[in-house]
Amino acid sequence: GENVEQHPSTLSVQEGDSAVIKCTYSDSASNYFPWYKQELGKGPQLIIDIRSNVGEKKDQRIAVTLNKTAKHFSLHITETQPEDSAVYFCAASIKWGNYKLTFGKGTLLTVNP
Amino acid sequence: SAVISQKPSRDICQRGTSLTIQCQVDSQVTMMFWYRQQPGQSLTLIATANQGSEATYESGFVIDKFPISRPNLTFSTLTVSNMSPEDSSIYLCSVDIASTGELFFGEGSRLTVL
């Protein structure tokens, strides 16, 4: 089955700096890659996703890149703010719409004011 | 977007008892799922809640331990049966609101078993 590795497990940055979280996946058939943000005491929130037919997607300060050849994808957050502090999870799905997401172990991002 | 409500939000239970978690969505959704998030861990899919039929369980999860109901397109329940401390987790309901393949999660039900 699919295996998703995520790193780093913790990341601390200064406000205004950029943050990058990287994930690798094992199954070359995977074609849907969402990212979730989970704040303390809350459920995961979908923040951005990318499908295998594109290499990059951007939404304001957040961007995701995908390299299918290398089987890795990354989340980029620019101009970080304290409210970006949370746990971020990457995930992969063999087929978009089959909902069987395999999640990475998460990255605790701390943005220091 | 839809509102996904879970009850209870948290509970402390005794070993050997059972607890039923409810998930209510404010719009009809085709696909509804239950996930488990163990302390400090990632999310694991327990089962797909199928409307009008038996749930589809993932490897490692069985109906006797985690019975699921899905009486209509807006509601589902997950029961954690004969609980042990190892069942202490956050249980999350998730749905595909617009049948787009994107999953949205409820706030979770935080269960502690003593």
Of the pLDDT bands very low, low, confident and very high (cuts 50, 70, 90), residue B40 is: confident
pLDDT at B92: 97
Is the pLDDT reported for residue B105 higher than 90? yes
Angle of CA points A64, A109, A35, to nearest 5°: 30
pLDDT tens-place string over residues B41-68:
899 999 999 888 899 999 999 999 999 9
A103 close to B (CB below 8 A) = yes
Q: Average of pLDDT values for A11-39?
A: 95
Arithmetic mean of pLDDT over chain B: 93
Q: Which of B44, B58, B102 minimises the CB distance to A46?
A: B102
Whether the ω angle into residue A8 lies within 30 degrees of 0, i.e. cis, is yes
Q: How many helices (H) and strands (E) does chain A have?
A: 0, 11
Distance in Å, alpha carbon of A67 to nearest chain B alpha carbon: 21
Tokens read off for B68: 């699921």
pLDDT at A96: 56
- pLDDT for residue B71 is more than 80: yes
Query: Is a pLDDT exceeding 60 seen at residue B23?
Result: yes
The whole-angstrom distance between B104's CA and the closest CA on chain A is 7
Tell me the two tokens of residue A83. Answer: 């409210």
What is the per-residue pLDDT for A97?
57
> In this complex, which of A34, A43, A106 lies closest to B108 when CB atoms are compared?
A43
Q: Which residue of A lies nearest to B6 if distances are taken between CA atoms?
A: A43
pLDDT at B101: 72
Cβ–Cβ of A44/B102 closer than 8 Å?
Answer: no
b/e string for B25-45 if b means 16 or more Cβ within 10 A? Answer: beeebebbbbbbbeeeebbbb
Please judge whether B42 and A104 are an interchain contact, meaning their C-beta atoms are less than 8 angstroms apart.
yes
Query: Dihedrals φ, ψ of B101, to 5°?
Result: 90, -5
Backbone angles phi, psi at A33, to 5 degrees: -135, 95
Residue B75 has pLDDT above 90, yes or no: yes
Model confidence pLDDT, tens digit, residues A87-100: 999 999 876 556 77
Which chain B residues have a beta carbon less than 8 Å from that of A36? Answer: 105
Euclidean distance between CA atoms B102 and A24, whole angstroms: 20
For residue B102, list chain A residues with Cβ-Cβ distance below 8 A. 34, 46, 49
Q: Which of B23, B32, B43 is nearest to B90 (CA)?
A: B43
Helix (H, G, I), strand (E, B) or coil at A82: helix
Tens of pLDDT, residues A31-74:
889 999 999 989 999 999 998 888 899 999 999 999 999 999 99
pLDDT of residue A95: 62
Q: Which of A51, A50, A45, A59 is CA-nearest to residue A87?
A: A45
Distance separating alpha carbons of residues A78 and A14, to the nearest angstrom? 11
Nearest-by-CA chain A residue for B59: A1
